[in-house]
Structure 1
Amino acid sequence: MALTPPPAAGTLTCRGCGGTLEIRAPGRSVSVACGSCGALLDATDPDYRLIAQYTARKVTPRIPLGTRGRFGAETYEAIGYLVRKTVGESDTWFEYLLHNPTLGQRWLVEYHGHWVMTRTASGVPETSRRDATYQGVRYRHFEKANAEVVAVVGEFPWTPRVGERAMVDDFVAPPRMLSREATGHETTWSTGEYIDGATVWKAFGLAGAPPARIGVGAAQPSPYAAQGRAMFLLAVSFVAAAVLVHLLFAIFSQQRLVTDITGEYRPNVPEAATVVSEPFDLRGRTSNVMVEISTNVANSWAYFHLSLVNESTGVAKSFGREVGFYSGRDSDGAWSEGANWDRAYLPSVLSGGYVLVVEPEGPHPVAWRARLTRDVPRPLWVWLAIGAMLVPPVLFLWRRAAFEARRWSQSDHAPASRDDD
């Protein structure tokens, strides 16, 4: 909504320095402060009575007073400027009073490059110690501050005084903010929404760039908030796809037992240790084979050197497996460790005729069995795929948590560090 023709703006002569001051909201402004000399004048008095004279503090609003800004369909004019700080601290923030003759007044607040556009709340929120609820939205308490006015320039619908203090409580539900300001005689609530500095600069047509943001603003929206649901659905879709692919492989895999041999190893008869299976065929597409070794070892170990030999080419795929199983009882009860069986997977084995050579060794006699199965789907691959697919969501959650940690580190409810213990 554009500005409607206001009552004619007026000018007056400052009672402090004789300079010319402009009244941009006649009929609404109660006081006007001179930025040159620090004089505070009564805008309702025909003679613009001097209310107070403060030591002049040179302040230059980044948004010059009298500048008009358009936010969507609404146009506002900057008519007042406050500089405030927390008592006992050096950080300051800046509040611009914006005026529209039809829509009324708004505040544009800037702190460390973060901007919030606020207006007076239409009702009193419900509050507890750590949160507030307004129009169905729950806000978390962010911080309490004893705010002090440091400098005043322009016109206002009340009489702000340098040194005036108020207790301010901020509650946030990014990008929204809810603020309670209490003085000795009045409590007011305002509600606001975070606005990007670039948007402010564009709205007012200001030259240059807005002040750089420092840290994360109390009401700054998380860049990850809107992506959470999409990231979750994407991760679920990928995991479901990985499981489906694994199931399809399981359905269409051969999983065919091609040889099953047994033997008995005796350390004192090493020449009889080696066992060669009957020839067998590996058929179908190139795929893996699974070799399973089971034994009767107990409180001992056995090592198996195995070779899968292609009868046509003489090429051997050799590998080893060690099994060991130990058990007993102590003061804590029964215990066991290891296993008396093991398995190995040989990938990408060509079809053809093969034999399996088994050469066991160990300190004690052992009976063993070797089974070779063709084309076996491996759960390992689906778990690796799922693990890889979960990396982006985990990184996303970590970044989102880190962003919120940076936000709340500036609040009254920041997690205590170990150094504070």
Structure 2
Amino acid sequence: MTGARAVTCPSCGGSIEIRAVGYTVTLACRYCGSLLDVANEDVRLITAYRRAAKNFAIMPGARGTLFDVEWEVIGALRRRSGDAVWQEFLLFNPYSGYRWLVAADGEWQFGTMLLDRPEEDGRSVSWRGQHYVLDDNAEIETVMVIGEFYWRAARGDKVQGATFANGREQLSRETSADEVTWTQLIPITAEWVSEAFTVEQRHMPRPPRPDLTEGFRKAPGVAEGDLGNMFLVALAALLLILAVQVLLSGPQVCADGRATVDVGGATTIHRIGTVEVRRPWQFVTITVDSDSFTNRWVDLDYSLVNRQTQQSVDAYGLVEFYTGTDSDGPWSEGSHQAETLFSRVPRGTYDVFVDVGAHGWPSDPVPGTVDPQNPWGHTDTVALWFRSCTGGFSWGMFWLMAALLFSVPGLIFWWRHQD
């Protein structure tokens, strides 16, 4: 491709060729990794290293054709940012100049340095009529250098890197104390790179450990910051609704009662107690606990009777518990506890009544027959303990409000991700 100049490494004595003669400033020995200053005729040792610079996916000296141009790999960098580690290969052609080949997370990108600087606008940039949005911004450190470069490259170099994305195309900005450089990065397939160069797959950089939040943070539009703010506003509104519901639930006044009912017998009426609703409108909650019956259900018809007007507010409750065995093994269904919520009960004093009827499954007990579970013929009963309290609020309404509040940012997130 071009005439080469051979130099001897002052550190290890190895013979190294300079391929981009007249352009190369820094050369990293491929045998020991030492950094050499080759800008002048006398090769000067910058930093001596004893460990060989190896384990790159492509070694300097390899040649291959990409985009109808024959390139030679003259330098390689291993760089990192946080847990992410990747490799960058400097390509050279005497007629086309320099390009970059970047290997990260099993994928490849082809990079071209920009001569015309993009127009920056906060968290986005514009370049040649295209709009790019900030995708990542972090410090980048060079951890290994091999080959030759047109600037004084050295391990330990640090720059501030920012990546702006437009679909799969990216613009990379690197800012150091001396300059700002821009590079356009376009994706190319691993098959194409393997056809052009000999790639050591075992030396490809490994992807960083997965971050459960990265998929959300990297999704299109999230980097702009508006979606995060939307979710925070929705959460704040939901907490405010919860606080208002708790505040408006009002003072709590409770009454307790107990009832025992025969299984398969007649419905009986029981008075639980008296509660007083002190606000213009208030919730009343009745909870019931039962003894440990099986294959039974209990119908509960509640009535709140206003002492002054004798008008009643009615609601229905149910306690049921079943067990059995089928082809999948033992099963159970139901609970020995239940809760019934009365909404918007007007101010007043109420007597709480319940009509109770207990039943057996699959049928009620028949008098005069012997039940294997009750060989002595004792009357099968269910004991119930009631508590009636003013106050409380509807959890169903709370979760409905949560779904509505988070649906807007959720739909926006889905729509942007589809793009």
TM-score by length of 2: 0.48
